[in-house]
Structure 1
Amino acid sequence: MGRPRSIDRDKVLDIAERIVREEGATALTFDAVAKAAGITKGGLQYCFGSKDDLIAAMAERWVKAFDAEVERHTPPDGTKVERARGYVTASARIDEASQTKIAGMLVSLLQSPRHLEQGRHWYAEWLQRLEPGSAAERRARTAFFAAEGAFFLRSLGLVEMDQAGWDGVFDDILALL
């Protein structure tokens, strides 16, 4: 008797992300992911539960990677301003394709009250870390909001911006810090 085949969650998440990146969020279906991963739809459902849970796993993986990138750009006992600088620097490094993928996942997730609450919690934690007590800390909080605004405007296709424009915007945001 052969060993049961196991599903590599990270490989499946990579495939799901590729589908969103190349074909858009509406192309992300269990059928499409299962076919591209070479697994059964039932196996995919066993591994992730629902499409909502698959999207949540994609977002959770991205958030962990983003938070690690922020930490890479923030001193260990960084001040509020240094944390904001780390956040803005990490945000500036997100490429356009990743932005589109991330925005698609977030828009899908925000339709779920459970995931909306998780997103609110993540932002609340960041805003608590940036609670202003000085003029420099108020600028840091403003830089955080500016980075998020730029991210969502570009990601959702509401503002067209090439890489040079993106870099310029983030240079201006970093100048606040």
Structure 2
Amino acid sequence: MSSPAAPASTSSAAPSRSARDRILDAFEDLLAEQSERAATLEAVAARAGVSKGGLLYHFASKDALVDGVLERFAADLAQDIEHMRAAPDGPVAYFLRTSIPSDNRLERVIVAIARLAQASDARASDALADAQRQWLSELEAVVGDRMVARTIMLIGDGMYYNTALLPAANTVLRDETDLQELIGLVERLSARD
């Protein structure tokens, strides 16, 4: 589930991805790498290795592609929330650790949906807002204070910004030691009495 599948091979070692999944992967990739405008039906079909007719068999329109991506995002988000709840070092540490870019499926789909939201797709904006509410709710349940939970989310946003958008200039979060110290500090500050 972490990245688009390689082209199908005749080997029986790994099952090939379905055409539907390859189409959604291609749509997400084009959105994340370029823009909503670049993710035309023709470009998606070419990237997925299917004919335009094959694409239309699975998704009758670009709107249907958006619906497909949003459905996958909802499933990915539910899985992330479960991982957050079950994390051995706790939800706060999990949230902060996963605020550092790691080139995984969830991150890719969030970027893709953000591109749709930038193009004024209300469904995409709603999906991102819902994700934020769910993460905030999980953090609040652990720390017991909505404002502290919001602060943790803002710290995570800052971590993402510094490590994804300013990697060469990032002097704030340099290595695992910095991350571990930050997690320890946040956990001490958010500890319940």
Report the TM-score, using the length of structure 1 for normalisation: 0.63
Task: Give the Å deviation of 1:166.
Answer: 5.0
Task: Give the Å deviation of 1:44.
Answer: 1.7
Q: Is the 8 A contact 1:85 1:140 kept in 2?
A: no
**What's the secondary structure of 2:86's corresponding residue?**
coil
Instruction: Extract unaligned runs of 5+ from structure 1.
Output: 1-6
Task: Give the Å deviation of 1:32.
Answer: 0.8
Q: Is the 8 A contact 2:26 2:44 kept in 1?
A: yes
Q: Determine which of 99, 102, 116 is the counterpart of 1:94.
A: 102
- Rounded to whole Å, the distance in 2 between the matches of 1:164 and 1:50 is 45
Q: Is the 8 A contact 2:113 2:124 kept in 1?
A: no
Cα–Cα, structure 1 residues 36 and 137, in superposed 2: closer, same or farther, change >3 Å? Answer: closer
Deviations 1:83-132 (A, max 9, x none): 22222222225249x85774243131352223322322222222223337
Root-mean-square deviation (CA), in Å? 4.0
1:50 is matched with 61
Task: Give the Å deviation of 1:20.
Answer: 4.4
Q: Is the 8 A contact 1:52 1:109 kept in 2?
A: no
Letter in 2 for 1:28: A
1:36 partnered with 2:42: no
Deviations 1:51-89 (A, max 9, x none): 34424533553564465356445437x8xx922222222
Report the TM-score, using the length of structure 2 for normalisation: 0.59
**What's the secondary structure of 1:91's corresponding residue?**
coil
1:3 is matched with none
Cα–Cα, structure 1 residues 91 and 134, in superposed 2: closer, same or farther, change >3 Å? Answer: closer
Task: Give the Å deviation of 1:28.
Answer: 1.8
Amino-acid identity (%)? 23
- Rounded to whole Å, the distance in 2 between the matches of 1:62 and 1:164 is 32
How many residue pairs get aligned? The number is: 164
Q: Determine which of 19, 26, 33 is the counterpart of 1:8.
A: 19
